[in-house]
Amino acid sequence: MTLALIKNANVYAPEPLGTQHLLIGGNRILWMGNESLELPVPLREVSTIIDAAGLRTMPGLIDGHVHVTGGGGEAGFRTRVPPVPLSRFTTAGITTVVGLLGTDDVARGPTELLATLYALREEGLNAYGYAGGYHVPPATLTGSVRSDLVFVEALIGIGEVAISDHRSSQPTCDELLRIASECHLAGVMTGKAGILHLHLGDGPRGLELVREALEKSELPARVFNPTHVNRRRVLFDEAVELARRGSTVDITAFPVAADEDAWPASEALERYLASGAPPDRVTVSSDAGGCLPCFDADGRVSHMDVGSAGALLATLREALARGLALEAVLPAVTSNPAKLLRLTRKGTVAVGHDADLLVLDANGAVHTLLVRGEIHIRDGAPVLRGTFE
């Protein structure tokens, strides 16, 4: 068990707390204060002392949309993306991932997803997952998504169920409502997030189905959690309106070309925050390990790329370069996803919370990373790696 003292930390909790000293032990933040702390000699010999003077310390990033198994498979079996190894996350400042299945929920399934999540947990990362995948009825472990969520600890929601996309099951409003209700009820029973994470495609229907579902049912808006909302500018405007109604919307940090009808994540976040919509109802995720295919009019892949875990930190840096304050943009990758996912001890730097901590250097690169008190990155280099790295 690691005992660590982080001295002279300039803490963004995400709100700025100024210089603090943090005592870490038993996976948690045991103490934090602005008076310098000296450990008694016997403890000093068994602890790690980190001087974070001049560096910014914040919660580890929470990436709410990761294809941990590797996604893809859209242009033949050779296009199945391999699993994402541990250090790909930790070197990108990520301490918690939510893994999911996408287009391919037939050659891959919930058992492979869970095994990959548990492997990441064994390697020290915080890892949760969504039941199901793109399609309806969703792929399940136990026969229903409701019992998957009730009985499988690591599964906290359903997704990414695809709508407004040629790869979706073209679900009807009633089908979507049935899945959302299972999700909501499981959330009520367990205290888990119980959200329906929705993949939005390029289709012109956009969020129409979600609006219809809200009008036709008693389900709270928080259950519906659309992602990729910055892929079309009109869709993004719809998402901002949905956030005003109570949903949390997720921006994807994918690469955007200058002539594309999409917003890069940093610009989307700036536009969201300027819109006056609730600042705690927006998140940014990486889509790491996912395939980023482009299709021609017949639905054939013309070219593809793979989502990168580094995209979250890159988005933070870009947002800062656009003149936004760190405390304004940090919630979208820390406290906002923690609140949505009901991970109550994560996403903020506070006494009693999990010691998931990211220390950034002056260039915005990872200097130190702790996951539940264990040091994964020290002085910019990984000290722990995945089993096959």
Residues 28-67 that bind Zn ion (CB under 5 A): none
* Closer of 160 and 318 to Zn ion (Cβ): 160
User: At closest approach, how far in Å is the CB of 160 from Zn ion?
Assistant: 5
Distances in Å between the alpha carbon of 189 and those of 25, 151, 154? 32, 11, 15
Closest CB to Zn ion belongs to which residue?
199
How many Cα atoms sit within 13 Å of 40 on the Cβ side?
1
Structural tokens at position 292: 């980023």
Please list, residue by residue across 144-170, b when 16 or more beta carbons sit within 10 angstroms of its beta carbon and e when fewer do.
ebbebbbebebbbbbbbbbbbbebbee
Please list, residue by residue across 259-277, b when 16 or more beta carbons sit within 10 angstroms of its beta carbon and e when fewer do.
eeebbbbbbbbbbbbebeb
Phi, psi for 30 (deg, rounded to 5): -85, -35
Of 56-64, 125-133, 199-207, 380-388, which part binds Zn ion (CB under 5 A)?
199-207
User: At closest approach, how far in Å is the CB of 167 from Zn ion?
Assistant: 9
Number of residues lying near Zn ion (CB under 5 A): 2
Helix (H, G, I), strand (E, B) or coil at 344: coil
Structural tokens at position 143: 């026969």
* Closer of 60 and 293 to Zn ion (Cβ): 293
User: At closest approach, how far in Å is the CB of 252 from Zn ion?
Assistant: 8
* Closer of 28 and 199 to Zn ion (Cβ): 199
Structural tokens at position 149: 């969520």
* Closer of 291 and 366 to Zn ion (Cβ): 291
Question: Cα–Cα distance between 377 and 361 in angstroms, integer?
Answer: 12
Of 36-44, 145-153, 197-205, 357-365, which part binds Zn ion (CB under 5 A)?
197-205
Taking residues 130 to 169 in sequence order and writing x for each that binds Zn ion by CB under 5 A, - otherwise, the string is: ------------------------------x---------
User: At closest approach, how far in Å is the CB of 98 from Zn ion?
Assistant: 13
Question: Cα–Cα distance between 110 and 123 in angstroms, integer?
Answer: 20
197 is a contact residue toward Zn ion (CB under 5 A): no
* Closer of 90 and 285 to Zn ion (Cβ): 285
Q: Give the containing element (helix H, strand E) for 44.
A: helix 41-44
* Closer of 276 and 299 to Zn ion (Cβ): 299
199 is a contact residue toward Zn ion (CB under 5 A): yes
How many Cα atoms sit within 13 Å of 20 on the Cβ side?
23
User: At closest approach, how far in Å is the CB of 272 from Zn ion?
Assistant: 19
User: At closest approach, how far in Å is the CB of 81 from Zn ion?
Assistant: 13
Active site residues: 287
Taking residues 77 to 116 in sequence order and writing x for each that binds Zn ion by CB under 5 A, - otherwise, the string is: ----------------------------------------
**Contact residues: Zn ion, CB under 5 A:** 160, 199
